[in-house]
Structure 1
Amino acid sequence: MNREAVESLDKETLIRVVLSQAEAIAALTWQVEMLTARVAELEAKLGLPPKTPGNSSTPPSQGHKPSEEPAVGSERKSPRKAHPGAHRPLHPNPTTRRDVMASSCQHCSAAVSSVPQMACEAYDHIEIPAFVPEVTRVTLHGGTCPCCAKTFKAVPPDAMEPGSPFGPNLRALVVYLRFTQGIAFERLARLMSDLLGLSISEGALVNILDAARDAFARQTSRIRARLMSGTVLQSDETGLRVGKRNWWLWVFHHDDSAVFLVEPSRGKCVVATFLGEFRPDFWVSDRYGAQMGWAAKENQVCLAHLIRDVQYVLDEGERIFAPALRHLLGRACRIGRRRNRLADATLKTYAARLEARLDDIMRLTPTHAAGVKLQHVIKKIRRHLFVFVTNRAIPPTNNGSERALRPCVTFRKITNGFRTEWGARLYADIRSVIETARRRAIGALEAIRLTLAGTPLPAPSS
């Protein structure tokens, strides 16, 4: 407003104008303060080190190795030193054998058929037969009973009942190719046609998987029962896309058994439902809250995750507390790798020394805010750091869970998830069977065959 317009206003109108302008000034002042704080926050983040697989939980696939520039004036690297040659070993159980006798000498062409001969060279010739599906046409005959005048029909032969025309080996192959090799339905149908000469629709493939749900669910329940009979459990989870929602794939495992679950939640309710009233003596996991507090005796946190977090604090500039802690955690992991060669008394001594050294480190004063925060974290979890030292059944890291989930992450990247809930839950049951079979030295295809036949997976003798 100009001076003339202001002078022409009455007193009440002028007061309203002044109040409205004061409110606008206050709102703009508040906005400036918020933006200033936001700019300061973003400027502070500019000084933080980047998140890498070495100092965080960033997957290795998202890390970038720096290019190595050749030294100025350096010559091309010399080739590696040659190693002794190797050859393919002979098959222990060849399908057939052919003993070929010489008929003539390759030097002078003289006949040598009657000369005594001995084995000079043996090698394998490997070939696969042509893939042709074995199709059996079953015709059930019948007629009219002369006794009761009712119609009768022959009983179908075993394993060839009416219904699905696909036999157990073919169904096992479909499950294997779909869930172990990640082959999509369209490509799988084309593979069956090109490789086996079998025309099969995508709908028929889905029906094969649908019919396998009960068999894999029963096998998974057996694996879960064995898992619950132990004293140690390990767990982890990863994201999964089901339909148009984000779900989570959980794994619970130890030694020779592993159970996967697909659930729409990442919370403690999943673990509570899986465990029921059971509580293992020891639990190994990362520091995610939903996986903590389930052990009857003690939790062991993953030291690999913690070492990466400490490394990030080091990258931020902490130079007192973090380096000492990083060295201590690395020392603890090295002791864990040597446990099988150490006596129980030696392990107890090492555990006492680790705890004493941790006491000394906790008395240090961090020089950086990130170090102070890390020290508070260690105070909360310190009793979960070195449980594994004196208990040989407990690993120091959650690497076993990461390895169990790795094929699932690969499958997720290939397929982008699942369209239906039943497909996701079937995948979890199949992964339970395949991962358990791997730990029990059973091939994946053989484990699928056993499951479809209703046979429990052989458990290793204790």
Structure 2
Amino acid sequence: MNDTAADLDSAIGTVPDARRPTPKPYDQELVTLTRREHIELVQRASSYRSLHARAVARIEFVERRHQAEKARFAQREAELKAALEAAQAQIRDLRLRVFGAKTEQSRRINAVCQVSAGPPRPRGQQRGRRGHGRTRLGGLPARVEEVTLQTTCPRCGLGLSAFPGTQDAEILEIEVKAYRRIVRRHRYRPLCCCGALPGIVTAPPPAQLIPRGKLGVSVWVEALLSKFLYGQPSHRLLQDWDDHGLHIAQGTLTEGLRMLWPLLGPVAEAGLDELRRGSHWHADETRWEVFEEEPGKVGHRWYLWVFQSATAVCFVLDPSRSASVPAAALNHVDEGILSVDRYASYRKFARLNPGVKLSICWAHQRRDFLRAANDYPALWDWAMGWVGLIGELYALHARRRQQWADGDAAFKDSDAETRALVASMEQRCLDELADTALAGAAHKVLRTLRTYWAGLILFLDHPAIDLDNNAAERALRPAVVGRKNFYGSGSQWSGQLAATMMSVLGTLKCWGINPRTWLSAYLHACAHAGGCMPADLDRFLPWRMDEARLSAMRGVACATIDSS
């Protein structure tokens, strides 16, 4: 019995151990078991241990699966939150694009970015300051109207006697009217009999811009300026003329514009040559619809590129948006600075032309921070901090640039202050890129800033250049207005005419020339040349004009300008 009890204790793991506590009285009582009962107890103990082991393994498996499910759902939750945040950011961005203000000079942003001391100067007439009064336009022709009185005294019936002097009032009026210019060519009979002259000699015909055309130069000047400078659709212009009693068919206007295109092309080509002689250019592009099918091209989207220097502007219409366009426009250019945005074609052009350096636009970088602030409200303070730094950089560079142009000795101090600010901005960018607490949208903006940093700080070594590419964007404004009003061009030749006219008008704007004055003089010269380009084209190129002719072209009286 003692052996049996010992075997049972060994089977169920109750062998006395020195580490056990002191046995209780019932621990010392012995129980007599049969062999069968012993075997059954051993089998049950083994079964319970097996069930317990399987239960423990099952619990461990369920726990591991639960942890994996938690990790998977946590990852899924993070992805959904990120997608929701991106969707909400996109909604805020689209809402701002559709319903928000188009200008970036909002009061809320300017209040954060105010770098000048004191409150900003209010707009309009300043309180306590003397105004300039009405502007006198003495150069305009005057029509004098005499107003007299034919009345008597209402009480006694006696008349009025004239008093010296008048009390004058000036009213500005504008009068637009169409008229027929009838040219009577007188005929003569020669008095001699030598036969050198025909039997009837007629005075020469009037100069015509378009052979056998009935529309004069003034009509074509108005049509070209109305469409390509002021963005008015052709059908609306014809309707305006019709209201004034001048009915012109759409086909007549269209065919006449097609015939004028070759006359204006040489001026644009000369402007392109002048552009290539520069050393600093602005470039940008925008879409332009050409509603004419072209083999191998899907859709009607073309691109209108603009290249601007200090003396010339050139527009290029091309079906592609590749680097071949700037390569063709700046052909044979060995070195210079090209102010652009971050479009890849310009970077490729710079790789193919190592002498041309890219100056990247700070305004685009500023828009990245503004977009991050709008799309992710949690980043507002961080983004506005960067916008404030960029605003301070603009103010410092404007002062530094003016001092450099004037040869001011204070330029060195301004230059050192600007470089110190740029260095602090670079260090802040590096520190924030290393900060993992910042959101992914902030890191994306900072990575973009870091990628284009070399082009963004090119202005430090070239004080004369701008911080942004706004000059090119302003040059594209007539094209954008025209695209909005008349959608684009109906054919390739009309698109090329639009690019040519915008090139000519943009160049005239660079020189401060009145476009109506210049265009009237040039088209009159073409008319005197028999509807061809003038023989002396240099007389109409601003960079070839003397000061007297430039002054005359900048005025409004085109009748005194020699167009021959």
Stretch deviating more after TM superposition (330-339 or 288-297): 288-297
1:70-219 matches, cutoff 5 A? 88-96=134-142, 111-112=161-162, 117=164, 121-127=167-173, 131-137=177-183, 147=195, 154=202, 156-160=204-208, 162-195=211-244, 197-219=245-267
Q: In the alignment, is the contact (CA less than 8 A) between 1:303 and 1:396 conserved in 2?
A: yes
Distance 1:203 1:146, change over 3 A: farther
Change in 2 beyond 3 A, CA 1:187/1:362: closer
Amino acid at match of 1:203: G
Distance in 1 (alpha carbons) for counterparts of 2:93 and 2:513? 37
- Alignment partner, residue 332 of structure 1: 393
TM-superposed deviation, 1:94: 4.7
- 1:246 counterpart residue number: 301
Q: CA separation in 1, counterparts of 2:99 and 2:504?
A: 29
**Residues 121-153 of structure 1, C-alpha deviation per residue, up to 9 Å, x if partnerless?**
443344556724233256697999985999997
* Equivalent residue number for residue 73 of structure 1: none
Partner of 2:6: none
Report if the CA contact (8 A) 1:313-1:370 is conserved. Answer: yes
- Separation of aligned partners in 2, 1:291 and 1:51: 30
1:230 counterpart SS class: coil
CA shift digits 1:280-337 (9 cap, x unpaired): 5211111111123267353221111101112334553458985664443222112123
Deviation at 1:120, TM superposition (A): 6.3
Contact 2:289–2:302 (8 Å) recurs in 1: yes
State the aligned residue count.
409
In the aligned structure 1, how far is the partner of 2:389 from the partner of 2:495?
42
2:529 — aligned with what?
none
Indicate the residue corresponding to 1:19 in structure 2: none
Worse-matched range after superposition: 447-456 or 168-177 = 447-456
Rounded to whole Å, the distance in 1 between the matches of 2:207 and 2:223 is: 18
Structure 1 range deviating more: 204-213 or 99-108: 99-108
Match of 2:440 in 1: 369
Superposition map of 1:372-451 within 5 A: 372-389=443-460, 391-451=462-522
Unmatched runs of 5 consecutive residues or more in structure 2: 1-75, 107-124, 292-298, 526-533, 548-564
Q: Given the superposition, is the C-alpha separation of residues 376 and 57 from structure 1 closer, same or farther in structure 2, using an over 3 Å criterion? A: farther
Alpha-carbon separation, structure 2, partners of 1:103 and 1:148: 66
**Partner SS state of residue 289, structure 2:** strand
- 1:276: how far off? 0.9
Q: 1:358 aligns with which of 384, 406, 425?
A: 425
Does structure 2 conserve the Cα–Cα contact (< 8 Å) formed by 1:219 and 1:451?
Answer: no
Shift of 1:417: 1.5
**Structure-2 change in CA distance of 1:320 and 1:98 (3 Å):** closer
- Specify whether residues 54 and 437 from structure 1 end up closer, same or farther in structure 2 by C-alpha distance, changes over 3 A only: farther
Tell me which protein shows more helix as a share of its residues.
2
Of 531, 539, 542, which residue of structure 2 is paired with 1:458? 542
Structure 1, 330-339 or 120-129: larger mean CA deviation: 120-129
Shift of 1:250: 0.9
SS at 2:484 equivalent? helix
User: How much identity, in percent, do the aligned residues show?
Assistant: 21
- SS for the counterpart of 1:212 is helix
Q: For residues 457 and 87 of structure 1, what CA distance do their matches in structure 2 show? A: 38
Distance 1:456 1:149 in 2: 37
Match of 2:445, SS state, is helix
Contact 1:307–1:329 (CA<8 Å) still a contact in 2? yes
CA distance in 1, matches of 2:82, 2:329: 42
Conserved 8 A contact 1:56-1:312: no
Aligned to 1:48: 89
CA distance in 1, matches of 2:458, 2:100: 27
Q: SS in structure 1 opposite 2:540? A: coil
Matched, 1:228 2:290: no
Q: Distance in 1 between matches of 2:457 and 2:546?
A: 30
SS in 2 for 1:363: helix
Residue 142 to residue 297, structure 1, CA distance change in 2 (3 Å): same
Q: Deviations over 1:384-410 (max 9, x none)?
A: 122224534311111112211122111
Cα deviation digits, residues 10-31 of structure 1 (max 9, x gap): xxxxxxxxxxxxxxxxxxxxxx
Equivalent position of 1:9 in the other structure: none
> Structure 1 residues 279 and 189 mapped into 2: Cα distance closer, same or farther (>3 Å)?
same
1:48 counterpart SS class: helix
